[in-house]
Amino acid sequence: MQADRRRLNPPAGGTSAPIYILPSDHPLTPPTRSRPPTDHRKIFLQTGIVPSASGSAYYEIPPETTTSPSLLIPSRSALKITCTVHGPRPLPRNAAFSPNLLLSTHIKFASFASRKRRAHVRDPSERDLGVHLETALRGVVIGERWPKSGCEVVVTVLEGEEDSFWGDDGSSNGGGGGGWGMMNVLAGCITVAGAALVDAGIDCVDLISGGVAAVVSPDDEKKDGRKDSLIVLDPSPSEHRQIRAACVVAYLQSRDEITEMWMKGDVGGHVEVEALVDQAVKAATLTRTVLIEAVREATEAKIAGSEVLSKQVGNAAAKESSLPKADIIMKG
């Protein structure tokens, strides 16, 4: 009997699905924060990754270490975000006249962005992040220079920050299930959207960057049993046993303005709130340094490319002018 070539035949002996178990000599120990409270994680930022878009950028915070060299399980989740800007482009003719630029934001998590697989339809958390991002960008874009025009900012989260250590059930960690990872995601979306707007050539009052600060409980306890709160920059929920409060800001350093602020949790008194906001602004300032370098490198690359192109055009024109003209023979 001739085999059907249109189908992929299974092996004759059969197969079994692999089962991954954790070895007994590798206990589930959550990671601890090794960097000082005032340090930020390393950030990778690059613009111009999507040529078909008006502007684009890629933002990544790689994981620092792994649980064990023999395991393929990262102890800390990473953050990978892409952003594309489409526009400014004219609105449809049937649309009402708008003296300012109509800015719309869209944030979507990839289905594989978190441990719990997400649906293809946007959930309420993604819509809330989109509203926060739109509010932050409206304070930086000079909209009156683009009347009756629209601009769309599309952010895709390829890998999001987890709310707790992957080995926890969500009940032991104070950040587990509390949505603290969304704070870092929003800060990354603000920074990558600011870089994409600059890459698209849209007029802005300043470079906008996002920063996160959190009030955590240290592991050590005092003699009276009371725990002092500690404010850290760029918190990773998997590194802290309990997160009491967190704050995200969208900051313009040259104008010393905050275009968006999202605070969550029990901070305490007025002094504690001001301290938390100041630390979040400091985190945004550290992120701005990476943003400035990325924009500078992209601008220098564009200038060098334009100079090479103009030189090639000039050489082609000079070569064409130096060619001998063909003799014209007129026949009577």
pTM: 0.82
DSSP label of 85? E
Q: How far is CA 84 from CA 95, 147, 179, 266, in A?
A: 24, 21, 25, 35
Report the distance separating Cα 311 and Cα 182, nearest Å: 48
Sketch out the chain's domains with CATH numbers. 44-63+76-164+179-220+227-303 (3.30.230.70)
pLDDT in tens, the chain (332 residues): 556 667 777 777 777 777 666 666 556 677 788 889 999 999 999 999 999 999 999 999 987 655 455 555 666 778 999 999 998 999 988 888 899 999 999 999 999 888 888 888 888 899 999 999 999 999 999 999 999 999 999 999 999 988 777 665 444 444 444 688 899 999 999 999 999 999 999 999 999 999 999 998 776 444 444 456 789 999 988 888 788 899 999 999 999 999 999 999 888 777 889 999 999 999 999 999 999 999 999 989 888 887 777 777 777 766 666 655 554 444 44
Q: Is the peptide bond before 88 cis (omega within 30 degrees of 0)?
A: yes
**Whether the Cβ atoms of residue 214 and residue 242 lie closer than 8 Å to each other:** no
Torsion of CA 134, 139, 145, 147, to 10 degrees: 40
**Which residue, among 117, 231, 141, has the nearest Cα to 190 in the 3D structure?**
141
Longest Cα separation, the chain: 117
